[in-house]
Amino acid sequence: MSEQPSVILIPGGARGIGRALVDGFVRRGWRVAFGDLDRETGTALARTLGERAHFIPADVAVEDDVRHLVAEAVRWGGRLDAVINYAGLANPVTGPIENLSLADWQRRLDVNLTGTFLVSREAVPHLRRSRGAVVNLASTRALQSEPDTEAYAATKGGV
């Protein structure tokens, strides 16, 4: 009897580096569940990659979305072996800090930092069963910020 392929969850997997992660794991034989806010791009990517990829629309800043994301990944894959927390607001530039609204600051915290916590918290019980792992990706800006990127740098430093 052959062993079931490993299952990984990648929030933020529809575009950019997240998309490259999804594609790379599918090519290496993993089953990849991935989430994103971009339904159109996520659906198209899953269709292109075939049966080893499963798109789940989700906002990692919304607790109920994260519960659904993890539960659906486990339902689809039958297990969960790994999570790569990659979801985040990618454009680090918010302009001068004196012009940064509290709402924009909070949204970055909610997605980039709290989202990492929520996904990890929901996934850990499944990962304990499979002896799996969580990988949290940050940014060089966690250690070396640049002007007008204070909110992004703060969240990546937190990760």
Residues designated catalytic: 152
Report the chain's terminal Cα–Cα distance, integer Å: 40
β-pairing verdict for 31-36 and 53-57: parallel
- Residue matched to tokens 């919304």: 62
Q: Spell out the residues 6+ positions from residue 33 whose beta carbon is closer than 8 angstroms to its own.
A: 7, 8, 9, 10, 53, 54, 55, 56, 69, 72, 73, 76, 77
On whether the CB atoms of residues 46 and 54 are closer than 8 A, the answer is yes
Distance of CA 27 to the CA centre of its chain: 19
Q: Spell out the residues 6+ positions from residue 46 whose beta carbon is closer than 8 angstroms to its own.
A: 34, 53, 54, 55
